[in-house]
Amino acid sequence: MSKRMRKFLGYYKPYKKIFFTDMACALIASVVTLMFPLLTRYIANDVLTADSVAFDIILQVGAVMIALVIVEYLCNYYIAYKGHVMGAYMEADMRDELFQHYQKLSFNFYDDQKVGQLMTRLTNDLFSLTELYHHGPEDIVISFIKIIGAFVILMTIHVPLTLIVFGMIPFMIVFSVYYNKQMKKAFKANRKKIGDINARIEDSLSGIRVVKSFANEEQEMNRFQHENRLWIDTKRNSYHKMGRFHSGIGAFISMLSVVIILGAAYFISDNQMNAGDLIAYLLYISNLTDPIKRLINFTETFQDGISGFERFMELLEINPDIEDKHDAIELGNVEGNVRFEDVSFRYNEKSDYVLRHVDLDVRAGEYIALVGQSGAGKTTLCSLIPRFYEINEGDIKIDGISIKDIKQKSLRDHIGVVQQDVYLFAGTIMDNIAYGNLSASEEDIIRAAKQANAHDFIMGLEDGYYTDIGSRGVKLSGGQKQRLSIARVFLKNPAILIFDEATSALDNESEQVVQESLEILAKNRTTFVIAHRLSTIKNAERIVVLGEHGIEETGNHESLLKKDGEYAKLYNMQFR
Ligand code: ADP
Ligand code: MG
ipTM of the complex, rounded to two decimals: 0.98
Question: pTM of this prediction?
Answer: 0.82
Which span out of 197-206, 242-251, 404-413, 532-541 was modeled with the highest average pLDDT? Answer: 404-413
Question: Where are the chain's structural domains?
Answer: 3-316, 425-493
Residue 471 has pLDDT above 70, yes or no: no
**Eight-class DSSP state of 288:** T
Ramachandran class of 114: left when φ > 0, alpha when ψ lies in -120 to 50, beta otherwise: beta
Measured in angstroms, how far is the CA atom of residue 421 from the centroid of ligand 2? 11
Collapse the DSSP code of 418 into the 3-class scheme (helix H, G, I; strand E, B; otherwise coil) and give the result.
strand
Task: Tell me which ligand sits closest to the C-alpha of residue 546.
Answer: 1
Digit-coded pLDDT (tens) for 221-241? 999 999 999 999 999 999 999
Nearest to 466 by CA among 436, 427, 500, 440: 427
374 lines ligand 1 (CB under 6 A): yes
Measured in angstroms, how far is the CA atom of residue 379 from the centroid of ligand 1? 7
**Averaged pLDDT for residues 17-35:** 95
370 lines ligand 1 (CB under 6 A): no
Measured in angstroms, how far is the CA atom of residue 567 from the centroid of ligand 1? 20
Residue 210 has pLDDT above 60, yes or no: yes
Concatenated DSSP letters for 116-160?
HHHHHIIIIIHHHHHHHHHHHHHHHHHHHHHHHHHHHHHHHH-HH
**Eight-class DSSP state of 319:** P
Digit-coded pLDDT (tens) for 421-467? 888 888 899 999 999 999 999 999 999 999 999 999 999 988 899 99
Phi/psi at 394 (nearest 5 deg)?
85, -165
Q: In this structure, how many other beta carbons lie within 10 angstroms of the beta carbon of residue 523?
A: 9
The closest residue, in CA terms, to atom 1 on ligand 1 is 375
Contacting residues for 300 by C-beta, under 8 A, at least 6 apart = 180, 184
544 lines ligand 1 (CB under 6 A): no
448 lines ligand 1 (CB under 6 A): no
Per this entry, what is the length of the chain?
576
Same topology for domains 3-316 and 425-493, yes or no? no
**Averaged pLDDT for residues 315-341:** 92
Class of domain 3-316: mainly alpha
Q: Distance (Å, rounded) from C-alpha 66 to C-alpha 571?
A: 93
Measured in angstroms, how far is the CA atom of residue 436 from the centroid of ligand 1? 26
HEC letters along 449-510: HHHCCCHHHHHHCCCHHHCECCCCCCCCCHHHHHHHHHHHHHHHCCCEEEEECCCCCCCHHH
* Element containing residue 377 per DSSP (H, E): none
Which option is the CATH number for 425-493: 3.30.470.10, 3.40.50.150, 3.40.50.300, 3.30.930.10?
3.40.50.300
Measured in angstroms, how far is the CA atom of residue 419 from the centroid of ligand 1? 15
Task: Tell me which ligand sits closest to the C-alpha of residue 570.
Answer: 1
Four-CA torsion 40, 38, 169, 303, nearest 10 degrees: 110
Contact 305, 131 (CB under 8 A): yes
